[in-house]
Amino acid sequence: EVQLVESGGGLVKPGGSLRLSCVASGFTFSSYTMHWVRQTPGKGLEWVSSISYNSNYIYYADSVKGRFTISRDNAKNSLYLQMNSLRAEDTAVYYCARDLEQWLILGFFDYWGQGTLLSVSS
Amino acid sequence: DIVMTQSPDSLAVSLGERATINCKSTQSVLYNSNRKNYLAWYQQKPGQSPKLLIYWASTRKSGVPDRFSGSGSGTEFTLTISSLQAEDVAVYYCQQYYSTPRTFGQGTKVEIK
């Protein structure tokens, strides 16, 4: 059974940093493109970042480019999102998600974790 | 960026009746070289993460009931629930993966009348 478990969310002051983690199980993590998607009541679902299976291809939404860094450790079946210079508008539930097929970057989300909540507030 | 717009924002349908959700994109998501529409649909039940229902505009994910179907091409798409069941109460989202940034519609809330 595919499982994605996020952690690392919490309350952070504006300008602060936080790292989210996602541990995967039930599939060959090292073969799949992975993504971060966030959800806010006001803006709905927003794609944040993607990383190919071998980390050779990385993409970011303009809203986080230069502040967030996606990475992965295939030996640990783990995906990360390092978030710096956090703003109030980054407040959201952050989901990690898996792409549909091995080796490809299709860009839609076959499996989702349960999400971790980030709140940015003073 | 491709903007995805869903209609209606919400709808109430009687059990066993048809529910239809529309999704329009500001530019075509049909890739001419393979004739595939880069459009997916998700279902999000209250308190849960989104779940993939349909991709390539009309391919149902394995395990998704066949009362869910997707249609359309280019810039206009439809998700149809042929016979609404109580467990289908949810918010439904379309998403394009034709280009980066991947973008979602604002969601359509489906309720029981």
pLDDT (tens digit, 9 = 90+) per residue, A83-98? 999 999 999 999 999 9
In B1-113 the beta strands, taken as DSSP E runs, fall at 4-7, 10-13, 19-25, 30-31, 36-37, 39-44, 51-55, 59-60, 68-73, 76-81, 90-96, 103-104, 108-112
Mean pLDDT of B41-67: 97
- Span A31-66, pLDDT tens digits: 999 999 999 977 789 999 999 999 999 999 999 999
**Predicted pLDDT of residue B23:** 98
Q: Which of residues 87-106 of B touch A (CB under 8 A)?
A: 93, 95, 97, 100-106
**Predicted pLDDT of residue A41:** 77
Q: Do B52 and A106 touch (CB under 8 A)?
A: no
Mean pLDDT of B50-66: 97
**Predicted pLDDT of residue B8:** 96
Average pLDDT, chain B: 97
- Span A16-35, pLDDT tens digits: 999 999 999 999 999 999 99
**Minimal Cα distance from A60: which residue of B?**
B101
